[in-house]
Amino acid sequence: MLAIKGRSARDIFGMHDELKLCSCATLFAEVSLGGSVFHLLIESYFGGKADVRTRALLGGSLAAD
């Protein structure tokens, strides 16, 4: 997915799956080393903003802001 340029996550997956992608990337970024594919997805497709609801459920500790 990171190789796809010029399209948003919504363009690729649709609205509902875009939300799921952000949530999943946020969840897995939490347990991954910095610079992981999950951090890169958040940076590339969501402007560096992790999913707020997922972060709240996890206690807000993700450093991908």
Q: How far is CA 22 from CA 15, 37, 44, 55, in A?
A: 11, 12, 11, 11
Any residues with CB less than 8 A from the CB of 41 and at least 6 apart, and which?
1, 2, 21, 25
Per-residue pLDDT of the chain (65 residues; tens, 9 = 90+): 899 999 999 999 999 999 999 999 999 999 999 999 999 999 999 999 999 999 999 886 655 44
> Treating both helix axes as pointing N-terminal to C-terminal, what angle do 37-46 and 15-30 enclose, rounded to 10 degrees?
140
Backbone angles phi, psi at 22, to 5 degrees: -65, -45
